């Protein structure tokens, strides 16, 4: 992360996110603490509902060395990303080492459980037997890069990143 970020005080984090958001990438998000991820989510717009396949990165134990190890493990063995289909208003998760497209969610804009502001909701309650208690929320932090939150029955579990190819 750009060292200049640390010179701005903590109370200026929303301004900091806007000033430096054009330089954010997956590696920088992976170095952020939970408080920084939460503030970035709060200060980011919902953005447009994405289209196509986004490369996924799970953020477990944010801001620690464990975070990178956990993200690699999850990516290889469990979850690789999401494929959005705006025509149907749904997405499919890309899972397992073979990259199977399964576990469908309805996609729409709605009110965030995290802060009450607009977000893009990934709702599994009506589409999945195995994930019906899961709800994800995403916001676009820079063009093509979304920060997400996973909820289990309104309890916040983890964050994740979706990176869409440019162009």
Compute the distance between CA of residue 55 and CA of residue 123 in angstroms, rounded to an integer: 19
Task: Show the tokens assigned to 18.
Answer: 């806007």
Q: What is the mean pLDDT of residues 21-32?
A: 87
pLDDT band at 167 (very low <50, low <70, confident <90, very high): low
Q: What is the mean pLDDT of residues 69-89?
A: 96
CB neighbourhood size of 109 (10 A):
12
pLDDT band at 15 (very low <50, low <70, confident <90, very high): very low
Tens-place pLDDT, residues 97-132: 999 999 999 999 999 999 999 999 999 999 999 999
Contacts for 91-96: CB closer than 8 Å, 24+ residues apart? 91/122, 94/53, 94/56
The pLDDT value given to residue 21:
46
Segments making up each domain of the chain, as ranges:
42-163
Compute the distance between CA of residue 125 and CA of residue 128 in angstroms, rounded to an integer: 6
pTM score, whole prediction: 0.87
Q: 20 pLDDT exceeds 80?
A: no
Task: Show the tokens assigned to 25.
Answer: 């990438």
Q: 159 pLDDT exceeds 80?
A: yes
Tens-place pLDDT, residues 37-68: 999 999 999 999 999 999 999 999 999 999 99
């Amino acid at each position: 992360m750009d060292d200049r970020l640390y010179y701005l005080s903590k109370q200026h984090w929303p301004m900091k996110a806007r000033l430096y958001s054009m330089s954010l990438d997956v590696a920088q998000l992976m170095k952020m603490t939970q408080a920084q991820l939460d503030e970035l989510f709060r200060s980011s717009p919902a953005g447009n509902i994405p289209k196509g396949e986004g490369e996924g990165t799970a953020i477990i134990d944010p801001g620690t060395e464990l975070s990178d190890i956990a993200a690699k493990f999850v990516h290889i063995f469990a979850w690789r990303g999401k494929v959005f289909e705006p025509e149907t208003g749904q997405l499919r998760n890309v899972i397992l080492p073979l990259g199977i497209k399964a576990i469908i969610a309805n996609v729409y804009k709605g009110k965030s459980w995290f802060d009450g502001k607009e977000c893009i909701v990934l709702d599994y309650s009506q589409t999945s037997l195995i994930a019906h208690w899961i709800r994800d929320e995403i916001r676009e932090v820079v063009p093509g890069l979304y920060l997400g939150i996973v909820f289990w029955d309104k309890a916040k579990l983890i964050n994740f990143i979706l990176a869409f190819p440019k162009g």
